[in-house]
Amino acid sequence: MFEHFETYISTKGSFTKEELQLMRSLSVEKKLRKRQLLLHEGEVCKYKTFVVKGLFRAYCVNADGVQHVMRFAAENHWIVDPESYNKQIPSRYNIEALEDAEVIQWTPEHFEELFTTVPAFRSFSKKLISRAMEASQNRVLMHISYTAEEKYNEFINSFPNVFGRVPLHMVASYLGVSRETLSRVRHAQLKR
Amino acid sequence: MFEHFETYISTKGSFTKEELQLMRSLSVEKKLRKRQLLLHEGEVCKYKTFVVKGLFRAYCVNADGVQHVMRFAAENHWIVDPESYNKQIPSRYNIEALEDAEVIQWTPEHFEELFTTVPAFRSFSKKLISRAMEASQNRVLMHISYTAEEKYNEFINSFPNVFGRVPLHMVASYLGVSRETLSRVRHAQLKR
DNA sequence: CGATTCTTTGAAAACAGTCAATCTGTGTGG
DNA sequence: CCACACAGATTGACTGTTTTCAAAGAATCG
């Protein structure tokens, strides 16, 4: 499983055998079956997680029992609850495997060790955080400025590797519209 | 002006006289009058900016000429276009002073130098980035799960120091609702 | 004061949400 | 292999909310 990560990380910078070995020794590997939770609401998010295989969703449940999908993460992406992970406090989110999955995880301490001792990992990690921030900003902009249809099209373009693998009602939740509205948006698009 | 920043940063960690002097020597001070732009769409965001005095908004303008407010920043807060600043590419945003203002700025290089050479600045900086990420995440959650009224109340609670200093139509834009809708939300609340 | 900007209001239209019913495909157990 | 249950997707009718457009009041500023 770690070989997959080595291939990935090697496209992000130059790493020695020893550095790769260090990353491996500090990591935890895990396999999950469909519907299993990687993180349960109320737990502390102990790890930053790299997805080797499978697909995840992070979602929270409000007082009325309604689920809100915050994020999807497929192969070669990372998933974490930043607030819970950074402060090591209980999470408001669940992270669920939507398919059978394999992941590699690092605790904040181990991730920090790699950050300080492996230069290429440091610059990679900075880019990772920057990209997460940019993605989040763009998503805010999408929400304050796009119609339901524009959001839907944006989603398909931005996440072609997620679309088709997740139920539409989860996409609807991610976009902040009802599943019926999303269904009607799709119907309207067929006519063109 | 820098004294104000010294007071602020000293609440965030322990710094020696020399470290404070280094921060100062790497910084740029600027004064702006109301309506002046700190960053203009198309320019590269050259600095990370600390607000000593005044109030800013970051906004973008879409193809129809409609403005969307991405962010406000008042005293003792930071403002930057992360994407433009991190990658040093042209920005899609404008950052405008809504009041006469004073700011202190650092380039990515100088900020990085402080990050690597001043330990307390490093940990402060990490917290800064973490908080920005958490705020952005929470804002996404707000957009996918709150009604217009809930968003408005959340805004008042989260930014009491901004509310009252900015026109309501900018708050409306920030929340992603029309100014008329926000006006009616307020009207409805008066009746209770 | 006059000009500009901001806020509110009203009415109509567009849009999105809810509820209930139906349709589809998938998979499980008999 | 079939019947059935189940999750997901769609549709229709209805309701409620939000936007849009136009106009008119406040408030602010030079």
For residues B33 and B167, give the distance between their C-alpha atoms in angstroms, rounded to a whole number: 17
User: Looking at residues B54-61, what average pLDDT do you find?
Assistant: 96
Is a pLDDT exceeding 80 seen at residue A192? no
pLDDT digit string, tens, across residues B152-190 = 999 999 999 999 999 999 999 999 999 999 999 999 987
Longest dimension (CA), chain B: 57
User: Looking at residues B31-59, what average pLDDT do you find?
Assistant: 97
The per-residue pLDDT of chain A, averaged, comes to 95
> B162 phi and psi, to 5 degrees?
-100, -45
Query: Model confidence at A78, in pLDDT bands (50, 70, 90)?
Result: very high
What's the predicted TM-score (pTM) here? 0.94
Q: What is the pLDDT of residue A63?
A: 87
Bridge partners for A61 per DSSP: A67
pLDDT digit string, tens, across residues A17-66 = 999 999 999 999 999 999 999 999 999 999 999 999 999 999 999 988 89
Report how far Cα A142 is from the mean position of its chain's Cα atoms: 18
Q: What is the pLDDT of residue A64?
A: 86
Alpha-carbon distance values, A179 to A171, A172, A184, B25 (Å): 8, 5, 9, 55
Q: Find chain B residues with C-beta within 8 A of A132's C-beta.
A: 133
Minimum-distance nucleotide, CA of A148 to C1': C16
Q: What is the pLDDT of residue B190?
A: 79
Chain B 47-66, residues with CB within 8 Å of chain A CB atoms = 60, 62, 66
pLDDT digit string, tens, across residues A106-146 = 999 999 999 999 999 999 999 999 999 999 999 999 999 99
Q: What is the pLDDT of residue A190?
A: 78
Q: Does A70 touch chain B (CB under 8 A)?
A: yes
For residues A104 and A124, give the distance between their C-alpha atoms in angstroms, rounded to a whole number: 17
C-beta atoms of B68 and A173 within 8 A: no
Report how far Cα A53 is from the mean position of its chain's Cα atoms: 12
pLDDT digit string, tens, across residues B84-112 = 999 999 999 999 999 999 999 999 999 99
Query: Model confidence at B35, in pLDDT bands (50, 70, 90)?
Result: very high
User: Looking at residues A94-106, what average pLDDT do you find?
Assistant: 96
Is a pLDDT exceeding 80 seen at residue A9? yes
Structure tokens at B108: 């990515």
| Fold adopted by A2-121 | Jelly Rolls (2.60.120)
Query: Model confidence at A105, in pLDDT bands (50, 70, 90)?
Result: very high
CATH 2.60.120.10 fits B2-127, yes or no: yes
Domains of chain B, residue spans? 2-127, 146-192
Closest CA to A92 of A111, A74, A68: A68
pLDDT digit string, tens, across residues A166-190 = 999 999 999 999 999 999 999 998 7
Q: Find chain A residues with C-beta within 8 A of B176's C-beta.
A: 143-145
Bridge partners for A37 per DSSP: A96
Is a pLDDT exceeding 80 seen at residue A191? no
Q: What is the pLDDT of residue B170?
A: 98
Is a pLDDT exceeding 80 seen at residue B191? no
Instruction: Check: CB of residue B155 under 8 Å from CB of residue B171.
Output: yes
Instruction: Check: CB of residue B12 under 8 Å from CB of residue B128.
Output: no
Bridge partners for A68 per DSSP: A60
